[in-house]
């Protein structure tokens, strides 16, 4: 990934927003690589993602001017350095497939991040951590989990079929920085054995949902969803296997979008830029 500066900006929709932003950037000698915007006409909200070329560490970036503009427009602005790798912790229980998928993509350079630790409440996943040369931590309580996250300076938590409830203090500490994969096309089939529920209902599609974790179970902002067709010919085991394939793909897409700063969260909804 190129070394770029990413800007996220939200405010009430009004005339001249893009002109004001781009004028500040142009006057300061910055080169705009891409602009993506969205207007929520129902709620009169404006969202924009701007990518700026960062040529050198001495390059002037008009952060103060942009902050002032944000204040004048009563908006919210955020800045990200694409070259700064995010520290990621993967949390799993016993299921290895989604973790393998994430770590293979990480090893191949598809994810612009660092994954210093794999955390579990069981020992089964320790061999995966050893295989990919990352630390493994078996945790038994929430205080221990917090200590590991702080020690490893974790920025993003990925729940790869982690079958434990994340405590409220960690959810607050990592607001919109915990991604979970849910084994259904939310909000359908919550709780245990979703594929068994789907099988009994005779559904014709099954899916998966990646979302940010909030204090309300499986009700956080949705990042990515996908579905696959099934039929009466598919057994429960076949549906489970098909569903897990969708889960892995959806989780990876959500993680990639987060790492590339392509997500803006507002009022429990997400704006996903290309």
Which are the catalytic amino acids? 218
- The answer to whether 180 touches 216, Cβ cutoff 8 Å, is no
Angle ∠(59,60,64) on CA atoms, nearest 5: 150
With H, G, I as helix, E, B as strand and everything else as coil, classify residue 261.
coil
Angstrom distances, CA of residue 75 to CA of 25, 71, 93: 18, 6, 41
- The answer to whether 45 touches 267, Cβ cutoff 8 Å, is no
Distance separating alpha carbons of residues 36 and 56, to the nearest angstrom: 24
Nearest to 105 by CA among 230, 252, 250: 252
- The answer to whether 254 touches 179, Cβ cutoff 8 Å, is yes
- Please list the residues that pair with 35 across neighbouring strands: 50
With H, G, I as helix, E, B as strand and everything else as coil, classify residue 93.
coil
- The answer to whether 105 touches 111, Cβ cutoff 8 Å, is yes
* Omega before 187 within 30 of 0, i.e. cis: yes
With H, G, I as helix, E, B as strand and everything else as coil, classify residue 46.
strand
């Amino acid at each position: 990934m190129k070394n770029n500066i990413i800007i996220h900006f939200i405010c009430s929709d009004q005339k001249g927003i893009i002109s004001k932003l781009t004028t500040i950037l142009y006057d300061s000698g910055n080169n705009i690589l891409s602009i993506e915007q969205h207007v929520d006409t129902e709620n009169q909200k404006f969202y924009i993602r701007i990518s700026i070329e960062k040529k050198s560490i001495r390059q002037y970036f008009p952060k103060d001017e942009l902050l002032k503009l944000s204040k004048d427009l009563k908006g919210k602005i955020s800045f990200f350095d694409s070259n700064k790798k995010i520290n990621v912790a993967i949390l799993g229980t016993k299921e290895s497939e989604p973790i393998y998928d994430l770590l293979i993509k990480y090893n191949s350079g598809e994810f612009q991040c660092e994954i210093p630790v794999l955390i579990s409440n069981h020992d089964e996943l320790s061999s995966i951590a050893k295989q990919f040369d990352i630390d493994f931590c078996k945790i038994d309580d929430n205080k221990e989990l917090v200590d590991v996250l702080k020690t490893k300076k974790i920025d993003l938590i990925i729940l790869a079929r982690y079958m434990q409830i994340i405590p409220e203090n960690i959810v607050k500490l990592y607001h919109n920085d915990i991604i979970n994969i849910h084994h259904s096309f939310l909000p359908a089939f919550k709780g245990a054995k979703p594929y068994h529920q789907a099988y009994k209902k005779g559904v014709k599609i099954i899916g998966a949902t990646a979302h940010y974790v909030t204090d309300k179970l499986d009700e956080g902002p949705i990042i990515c969803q996908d579905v696959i067709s099934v039929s009466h010919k598919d057994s429960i085991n076949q549906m489970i296997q098909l569903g897990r394939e969708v889960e892995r793909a959806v989780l990876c897409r959500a993680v990639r979008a987060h790492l590339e700063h392509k997500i803006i969260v507002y009022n429990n909804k997400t704006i996903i830029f290309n």
